[in-house]
Structure 1
Amino acid sequence: MKIKILRSQTNTHQEYTLPDGETTLLKALTHIKATQDATLTFSAGCRASVCGTCAVRVNGREKLSCAYKVQDGDIIEPLQYHPVLRDLKVDKQPAKKTLSTSTAWLHSFQEAAQNHADEKMSERQTDCILCDSCYSACPVLAVNPDFIGPFALTRAYRYSVDKREENVKGIIDNIQSNGVWDCTLCGECTAVCPKGIDPKMDITMLRSTSVQQGYEDPSFSQMSFGTPDFGGGGFGF
């Protein structure tokens, strides 16, 4: 079984041969580093799909190395829109700064009883492991590097529906610029999330809350819906 890995020093794909048999990509990378190429660099953490450290792109799709089963001919590359430190290891700090931009935390705490339905509203969002898969898959970042990004907006949604948050408007105010209205709602973020989170729906809900807070899509006023042409400059005359 053969796979190709993008090497940062040459910016070319280097081919490696693996023993036949089912194995995770992380085990394959570890095998290559131990037996074939000690210079190969990648990131790993918990090895159990709970830390998000080992996310890479496989055949153009974001995957967790510790969970993905290697297939013959796979092409392995680092995450997109991240500075590459070496090979598959990227710098995730610039992406994490979007959490500060979105101010995704409790702004003004108030005592509030939480029932089961309240917990369900943000239960899935709290499973985010900040693997950056959604960030890497987002086409908006290809044209707008200042876009807040899916996981930061999902985190903003998580706190905007928290009954303990007394100042929801404070969160909504901070996701208007390069935020909820810049998303194309393509759903790529939802498709690659290893935890089954739906950032697309979270952003849609944030748009609804934004409207309730007095905001609107800034591009709406620039849209042209055309004008009726009845001919002759009048209605039937």
Structure 2
Amino acid sequence: MKVKLRRFTGREFVTTEYEVETGENPTVLEILTKIKEELDPSLSFRAMCRASVCGTCAVKVNGEHRLACNTRVNGEEVLIEPVDGYIPIKDLVVSHEEIYDGLRRARVWFVPREENLTITPQELNKTSRAWDCILCGICNNVCPPLLEKRDFGGPSLFTKIYRILEDPRDSLGEERLNGLTALNAQNCVHCSNCNLFCPKGCMPERWITVIEGKLTQKGYIQKKTEDFGFLGF
């Protein structure tokens, strides 16, 4: 198999080609590991769990953002590139600081109540899918407002916030909701790219819509009337 790697050298992107002997339907991570171990030990990429849990191995595969560990390829040629939305560091490795800065800025952690509350299965089901987010960043890398550098919190951040916002054990309540105005949920264009490419099926656009509705209902943001044209078909 011919493998093309678009790598960042620290100053520019270059494309390197390799001929790799693989088994049938190898994963992208298997291909990258084989290149590093047998052909080019200088290659840098991220991978930890190999089981779609850690979220560190996101790359572009033939132009689509995927997790390297659970994406299988076949055919005679494959192109592997760094993801689009984050600052490149080396080869396929990009900075994730933007994700972590957003989590700190939005205080995405519980502030527990003094009393010990029991959460019901029904309440837990409301947020169960959002809890599956592994912060791989793929949703952010296919989000038009973020790629266009608009002031927008992003799908992964709103997914993490939703699971706390709907949890009765969190004590901030209205204060937490008010603090979300700076993240500009109304700047979401509802293209559903994040839903389509999320490897865990977290459905980020759904939670953005819910949060945007809550903020609008409370008067923290204005109801959006602008047509961005993404759904105009």
> Under TM normalisation by the shorter chain, which class is it?
0.7 to 0.9
1:169/1:213 contact within 8 Å kept: no
* Cα distance in structure 2, aligned partners of 1:170 and 1:77: 41
Give yes or no for the alignment of 1:95 onto 2:88: no
* Cα distance in structure 1, aligned partners of 2:109 and 2:95: 23
* Cα distance in structure 2, aligned partners of 1:90 and 1:70: 23
- Provide closer, same or farther for how the CA distance between residues 188 and 117 of structure 1 changes in structure 2, counting only shifts above 3 A: same
Corresponding residue of 2:212? 207
Q: After the TM superposition, which residues 1-237 of structure 1 pair with which residues of structure 2 at under 5 Å, given as runs?
A: 1-9=1-9, 10-20=12-22, 21-72=24-75, 73-107=77-111, 109=113, 110-144=115-149, 146-217=151-222, 220=225
4+ residue segments displaced more than 4 Å: none
Offset, 1:70: 2.3
1:43/1:54 contact within 8 Å kept: yes
Ranges in structure 2 where 5+ consecutive residues have no aligned partner: 228-233
- Which residue identity is paired with 2:87? P
1:66-102 Cα offsets, whole Å, 9 max, x none, are 1111233221111122111101111101222111222
1:73-132 Cα offsets, whole Å, 9 max, x none, are 221111122111101111101222111222222245253321110110111111111111
1:183-208 Cα offsets, whole Å, 9 max, x none, are 11111111111111011000000011
**Larger Rg, first or second structure (1 or 2):** 1
* Cα distance in structure 2, aligned partners of 1:166 and 1:211: 21
* Cα distance in structure 1, aligned partners of 2:112 and 2:41: 50
2:60/2:66 contact within 8 Å kept: yes
RMSD: 1.9
Offset, 1:147: 2.4
* Cα distance in structure 2, aligned partners of 1:218 and 1:178: 15
Q: What count of residue pairs does the alignment treat as equivalent?
A: 222
1:153/1:179 contact within 8 Å kept: no
- What SS does structure 2 have at the residue aligned with 1:13? strand
Identity of matched residues, %: 33
Offset, 1:154: 0.8
Ranges in structure 1 where 5+ consecutive residues have no aligned partner: 224-237
